[in-house]
A and B are shown apart, each in its own frame.
Chain A
Amino acid sequence: MTETSLFWLLTGGMTLLVLAFLLAPLLRRPRRVLARAEYDLAIYRDQLRELEEELALGAIEPEAAERARNEIARRILAADDARRKAREQLEAGGGKSVVLASVAAVGMVALAWSLYLQLGQPGRPDMPLKQRLANAARNNDFAALVRRAEQRLQKNPDELRGWLALAPAYEQMGRLDKAVEAWRQVIRLTKDPSAELYNAYAEALVRFSRGRIPDAAVKAFSKALELAPGNPMSRYYLAMADLQAGRREAAYAKLKKLLDDLPPEVPARATIAQQVARLAQALGKKPETAGVAKIRAQAGKPSSTDKTPSAKRMARAGSGPSPDAVRERMKAMRDMSPQQRMEMIRNMVEGLDARLKEDPSDLSGWLRLIRARAVLGERDKAKAALAKARQAFAGKPDALARLDALAGDLDLPR
């Protein structure tokens, strides 16, 4: 039996049982009904008995007891009188009351059904956390799988397999701090960590630092280069690190060498080639106007967005704005008047807004949009974007937390 049909069976049974309970008493002959006065009499007799008890205990003065006795006696007489007069006022009620009660019961229950069908989700299964974690693999429940691995690792933090599974999962979920930590653990637990591991760890660090290449990453890339001399990824990032540190000559040399070593079919070649060309221009390897060269050199510095090129991204050329496109735009902006620049920024923001309307699942897009709106002074629009983003990520606590953090930074009401 499916869960849903079991649900209908149970609710149906419940309904019938309730109706039976409510209506069964109608089928029985009513028991003897006592007049109100008889209940009163019982109470007054009780009071009289208590009074005698209290008198015997000395809790009440004899004089007061006498007065109270008289009073209760008066009540008893009155009640007795009422009882005699009452005849039988109470009627058991005939067939009419059976019909009336039945109609009321069935009507109310029908009302309940129509309400539930509107408000409830008939037959929808429960989702207790334990069971969800247990069935994670079967249900392809990515988040639950991650959580299960985490739980395992909490008990046994030296389980390499778990960290190895978690690290890329974290990267995919955008939890970069966790990803960095996971790669670090992997390296700690592997006997002879390979160059790939060091590269992966370092690249996670770079992504976590939003494109800046921190010292720890430089160290790891160098280590990878030691282990696998000549591997393009380490070389590329080390060149970028030089560039970020202002050692443009060194960066140029390394990139040029890398370009020469790369086989022609590698897609990333084109990008690197462009970078080499631009650096060459900036360094005056080919004649170029000084002003532009300066701009380009600055453009080579890290931007605050996370649009730094990564080897993987380069390999997936075509997805998302390429770093070069960004640089091109920035370069163009330098040459504009303030009004034009503003215009262009607004166009970009509106474009982003439009894109998010079509595809609201891009968290970093939302974060950028909200920040841009706030920086442009369009606080209302920023708030609206925040609200929309919250809606889009309702039920995803990680995303919501990032949105909230941003809202806090920008001092937007939550």
Chain B
Amino acid sequence: MIIELGHFALVLALAVALYQTVVPLYGAHRNDARLMALAVPAAFVQFLLVSFAFAALVHAYVHSDFSVLNVWQNSHSAKPFIYKITGTWANHEGSMLLWVFILSLFTLAVAAFSGNLPLSLKARVLGVQGSISSAFLLYIVTVSSPFVRIPPDRVPLEGQGMNPLLQDPALAMHPPMLYAGYVGFSVAFAFAIAALMEGRVDSAWGRWVRPWTLAAWTFLTAGIALGSWWAYYELGWGGWWFWDPVENASFMPWLAGTALLHSAIVVEKRNALKTWTVLLALIAFSFSLIGTFLVRSGVLSSVHAFAVDPERGTFILAILAFFIGGSLFLYAIRANTLKIEGRFDPISREGALLLNNVLLSAATAAVFIGTLFPLIYEAVTGGGKITVGAPYFNLTFGTLIIPLLVILPVGPLLPWKRGNVKAVLGRLKGALVLTVLAFALSLTLLDASVRAAFGIALGVWVVAGALEEWAGRVMLFRAPLKVVFKRIASMPGSMWAMTLAHAGLGVVVLGIVMSTAWKQERITALQPGGKVQIAGFEVVYKGTRKATGPNYLAEQGLFEIYRDGRKVAEEISEKRTFLGRRGMPTTEVALMHYALGDLYIAIGDQTKMGRTVRVYFQPMIQLLWFGALLMVFGGFIGLLDRRFRVGVAERTESRLVAQPAE
């Protein structure tokens, strides 16, 4: 009965979402405080109902209730417990429910943590959130329901199993993180729509939007990093980013969100770039919607996949058109009501942030075109297939991102309004010296190509620049230690966030450049006893054996690793074939971490020549994950900044008291 109660709760949640949309927005329009105040309890109730529905589905998965069609299609009773839970969102219907669940969580958070929001703004923000909820709940309830049952007399005893590629710890956490990022941008979106309705964006608005944007950005960064890490160790091709449309779908909102994160600072501090920031908020969420649907609708594999399920496809298009088209239309007719204030010189903190925005937006556009062009081409030519590959992205995206990295350390040191680049470079002397040194050393000692040396120098520049800015801020080496410590202790969270995120980005750049430039690769067929030499290691293939897991059969390739004639490791690299109908084998890479990089062994098929074995040495690739971790960590520190929690307005004195009702 829990399933039916969950289904009922989901439908009821749709009703509450509609209520949450209509009543507060009407109340705000009529300036009726009573109606506006209803947004908060509605958000609360909606969260409870959606949580219950989601929990009911998880319950059905955990207990292998195959009377639920969705569970039968995507689960298997022999699956490990953790994948029974994560299997809930490893399919279309379940993941959409997860999406709405996270949306209701964010809505609840807005309702709970916005005591400092004016009532009308709060009502409008929650109302817009409610409208997004309504659209998705309607979609789920009518055409994508996870609660469809199989007739009682036909309930099968075993499910068809979960996509084996997704049975993995990193990928289990990947969708919730990614969705928390996507959905988080809905808050910024709602704030932007509310601002357009009210016709005002000011410094206070920037302040309110920033923490939500930062939260979304942090989750999205973590989600993308997890996905990339998973691709690295699970797909067995030695890469970690493929410019695959699914990856691009999450990368576009990240780029737009990063731009938004920076321009919101200008709105808050300087009351400038307001219309631009509002537009970015709309775009960031629009890309989140597009990302969700690109991945979930199957349109990416082919335009025809979309037509296979026209009911869902049309619904999805309608939602996209309504929110993206509607918000841009509203922007077009209302943006001129936002007053322009806050002038600044081109060379200033604002100027640097604007340049950051322009470059990020251009990069987003480049990725967008590269991702959608094959689709458009297929639709226009009636089935023609082309692919836009890494060379396009590396060229366009790379060209745009290099100047961004060059100006990155300079921006935070520029003063607001007008500044002086010379003075700033003077404060980055250390970083400049290190950068030149890094370039020279890479070229000479490390035998790097000019391109690689340039990349390394760029990474060093970003990291050293971030650290030098931090050092200057705490007066390292310029003041007594006691003062330095005091300054470190009292540095606000958002400053830490900036330093960590910027340094993290530099570390990521270093990881990318080094692992690409010095990557070594051996692909060969080996008989048992065969050897491969790579990066000073000797990898010996000992043979293959069969093994059985809880819900899979495995072929395990056994390897011994020698360095300088000494055995340093014994490793197993697997190919797993899972039970159920989805019998595509997956790889479990043998991955060894050393100080200078990862040794990576993946086994392929058995051929006449022997077992296909791919061995890679990935120098310094750990920097990539470490840098991403720094960025995420910085984001969380920033969220803890007490300054985002503005003093509650009610505590301020006020002569104005609302008239009591009647």
Contact = CB atoms under 8 A, between A and B. Distances in A.
Nearest to A24: B41
Interface stretch (A10-18, A223-231, A293-301): A10-18
Contacts of B18: 108, 111
B532 interface: no
B660 A30 contact: yes
9 cross-chain pairs, A with B, having the tightest CB-CB distances, nearest first: A395-B154, A128-B63, A93-B34, A33-B658, A93-B32, A112-B15, A108-B15, A129-B64, A127-B67
A266 interface: no
B647 interface: yes
Interface stretch (A58-66, A174-182, A320-328, A329-337): A58-66
A363 to B, nearest CB: 14
A401 B30 CA distance: 62
Contact of A44 (B41, B119, B204): B204
A134 to B, nearest CB: 12
A38 B656 contact: yes
A170 to B, nearest CB: 14
**A contacts with B: majority SS:** helix
Given A116-B11, A395-B154, A123 B4 contact: yes
Interface stretch (A83-91, A207-215, A339-347): A83-91
A27 to B, nearest CB: 10
Contacts of B65: 126-129
B383 interface: no
Interface stretch (A45-53, A198-206, A254-262): A45-53
B12 A18 contact: yes
A59 B658 contact: no
Contact of A116 (B7, B41, B648): B7
Contact of B661 (A71, A93, A105): A93
Given A108-B19, A120-B8, A29 B660 contact: yes
B35 A126 contact: no
B64 A395 contact: no
B22 interface: yes
B396 interface: no
B387 interface: no
Interface of B: 1-5, 7-9, 11-12, 14-16, 18-19, 22-23, 26-27, 30-35, 37-38, 40-42, 44-45, 49, 60, 63-67, 72, 77, 116-121, 141-142, 145, 147, 149-152, 154-158, 160, 202-204, 207, 268-271, 415-417, 473, 475, 487, 490-492, 495, 581, 643, 646-650, 652, 654, 656-662
Contact of B67 (A83, A105, A126): A126
A124 B4 CA distance: 7
Contacts of A129: 63-66, 77, 157
Contacts of A354: none
Contacts of B657: 32, 88
A35 interface: yes
A139 to B, nearest CB: 10
Contacts of A93: 27, 30, 32-35, 661
Contacts of B32: 91-93, 97
A125 B1 contact: yes
A143 B66 CA distance: 13
A87 B656 CA distance: 7
B38 A40 contact: no
A121 interface: yes
Given A90-B33, A101-B38, A128-B65, A30 B141 contact: no
A112 to B, nearest CB: 4
A25 B41 contact: yes
A61 B659 CA distance: 46
A373 B2 CA distance: 46
A14 B119 contact: no
A109 B207 CA distance: 37
Contacts of A121: 4, 149
Interface string A131-143: 1100000000001
Contacts of B63: 126, 128-131
Interface string A393-414: 0111100010010000000000
Given A42-B646, A108-B19, A88 B659 contact: yes
Interface string A229-272: 00000000000000000000000000000000000000000000
A79 B502 CA distance: 35
Given A38-B654, A112-B15, A397 B207 contact: no
A92 B11 contact: no
Contact of A43 (B8, B34, B646): B646
28 contacts: A3-B1, A7-B5, A22-B16, A22-B42, A31-B658, A42-B116, A42-B649, A43-B207, A45-B647, A50-B643, A64-B416, A68-B416, A75-B271, A83-B654, A90-B120, A95-B662, A97-B35, A100-B35, A108-B19, A115-B11, A119-B7, A119-B11, A121-B4, A121-B149, A124-B67, A129-B157, A143-B157, A395-B156
